[in-house]
A and B are shown apart, each in its own frame.
Chain A
Amino acid sequence: QKEVEQNSGPLSVPEGAIASLNCTYSDRGSQSFFWYRQYSGKSPELIMFIYSNGDKEDGRFTAQLNKASQYVSLLIRDSQPSDSATYLCAVRGGNNRLAFGKGNQVVVIP
């Protein structure tokens, strides 16, 4: 089982809709959870981090964490064409190493 798994396949959403991305992790000792956005040909940049169970909102982004079920999700409200990118889930495990998922490509259709 991979340390961090993200759903495969690009996600196409109409402009203005909500994009929902999910990520599961295998290490129950994981402490911190991150979402990075990576535009094509660019480097990843951190957009959200969450440490505690529940929701964390930042502008149009909401991160949700459920440690019991070992998943973390990212919601993008009012999706814009500029949100079209690959979103990488990253988890800091009990070994203090940051493991990345393979990413989810989001395509926002105008």
Chain B
Amino acid sequence: DTAVSQTPKYLVTQMGNDKSIKCEQNLGHDTMYWYKQDSKKFLKIMFSYNNKELIINETVPNRFSPKSPDKAHLNLHINSLELGDSAVYFCASSPDRTGVVEKLFFGSGTQLSVL
């Protein structure tokens, strides 16, 4: 009965590779997010989708491309991985039908290590 699930939990890869992280929520929420948490624990938003529509696209390299096939899924594809991409990536969802972000429900995170 996991609310927000993301896979994989750990991802170790070489520089230059392309990788994807998948996220699914079974809460019926309209909005999903990708956050990046760096080694200093700073949590920063990357993207937000509301009902499959991109609504927030922060200053993120073009190598990062989110895809939302439906409102329950938000995947993150990363091309040409770099050392600086190493971080924990959290998927989250929110029941903000009005467009007002409130409580976030986080997935368990994906620890990405680029070697």
Contacts and interface: CB of A to CB of B under 8 A. Distances in A.
Taking chain A's interface residues, is the majority helix, strand, or loop, or is none over half, making it mixed? strand
Interface in B36-89: 40-45, 56
A34 interface: yes
Q: How large is the interface on B (under 10, 10 to 19, 20 to 34, 35 or more residues)?
A: 10 to 19
A43 B90 contact: yes
- Which of A38, A43, A100 has the most B CB atoms < 10 Å from its CB? A43
Contacts of B45: 97-99
Given A46-B103, A97-B56, A88 B43 contact: yes
Interface string B13-50: 00000000000000000000000000011111100000
B102 A32 contact: yes
A36 B107 CA distance: 14
Contacts of A92: 100-102
Q: How large is the interface on A (under 10, 10 to 19, 20 to 34, 35 or more residues)?
A: 20 to 34
A43 B102 CA distance: 17
Contacts of A98: 45, 101, 104
Contacts of A103: 41-43
Given A43-B108, A100-B43, 7 more contacts: A32-B100, A34-B103, A43-B107, A43-B109, A45-B106, A49-B102, A97-B45
Interface of A: 31-32, 34, 36, 38, 42-46, 49, 86, 88, 90, 92, 96-100, 102-103
